[in-house]
């Protein structure tokens, strides 16, 4: 299976990358091909709502989203990886999700698998409620098959994250595919 990880962390070596890399390690060991795109460090503009794409054509913006689009349409699974910023995914990852509109029907027809990897400093039980709801809505709307979520509470720094169970859970999720 071909898997892409869309990582929306501005921090190249933070807690989100720990989970993404552990997921990749597990999935690779299980025989899958995994590529991580750190969309926070790519040139991807926000959707302008011009609808020139007709919701299923090329976007008028010529940026790195062309590569993401190509990869999305040739993959079997997409993994969303993000730190929690004000109880949602990062703006960088949301920008990519918003740009899905130009190939929405193509994504929907693929019946892809998906997963969510997220980290937060906060460790309250309700910490991920809004992000979970958003992810579940995407799963339903885009006709994804959810393969699981790793929601890392108390992952304020990489050293904190490494000392918790979440890297092992991300590895296990990847390995289980």
Query: Burial of 19 by CB count in 10 Å (0-12 exposed, 13-18 middle, 19+ buried)?
Result: buried
Q: Give the per-residue pLDDT at 20.
A: 98
CA distances from 110 to 82, 107, 140, 170 (A): 23, 5, 13, 24
Domains and CATH numbers, the chain: 2-175 (3.40.50.360)
Cα separation, 71 vs 69, in Å, equals: 5
Q: Give the per-residue pLDDT at 102.
A: 93
Cα separation, 128 vs 136, in Å, equals: 12
Q: Give the per-residue pLDDT at 57.
A: 85
Cα separation, 7 vs 92, in Å, equals: 9
Query: Burial of 71 by CB count in 10 Å (0-12 exposed, 13-18 middle, 19+ buried)?
Result: middle
Neighbours of 16 (CB within 10 A): 30
Query: Burial of 64 by CB count in 10 Å (0-12 exposed, 13-18 middle, 19+ buried)?
Result: middle
Angle in degrees, CA 56, 54, 90, rounded to 5:
70
10-residue stretch averages of pLDDT, the chain, 177 residues long: 97 96 98 98 95 89 96 97 96 97 93 98 94 98 98 96 98 98
DSSP state, residue 60: S
Q: Give the per-residue pLDDT at 124.
A: 93
Q: Give the per-residue pLDDT at 122.
A: 92
Helix (H, G, I), strand (E, B) or coil at 126: coil
Contact 103, 47 (CB under 8 A): no
């Amino acid at each position: 299976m071909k898997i892409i990880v869309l990582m929306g962390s501005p921090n190249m070596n933070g807690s989100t990358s720990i989970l993404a890399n552990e997921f990749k390690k597990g999935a690779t060991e299980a025989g899958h091909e995994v590529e991580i795109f750190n969309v926070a460090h790519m040139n991807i503009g926000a959707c302008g709502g011009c609808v020139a794409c007709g919701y299923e054509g090329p976007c008028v913006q010529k940026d790195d989203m062309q590569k993401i689009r190509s990869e999305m349409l040739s993959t079997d699974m997409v993994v969303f990886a993000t730190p929690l910023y004000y109880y949602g995914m990062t703006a960088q990852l949301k920008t990519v999700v918003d740009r899905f509109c130009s190939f929405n029907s193509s994504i929907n027809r693929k019946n892809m698998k998906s997963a969510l990897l997220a980290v937060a400093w906060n460790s309250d039980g309700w910490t991920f409620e809004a992000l979970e709801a958003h992810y579940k809505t995407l799963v339903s709307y885009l006709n994804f098959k959810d393969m699981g979520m790793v929601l890392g509470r108390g992952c304020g720094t990489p050293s904190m994250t490494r000392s918790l169970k979440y890297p092992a859970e991300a590895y296990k999720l990847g390995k289980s595919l």
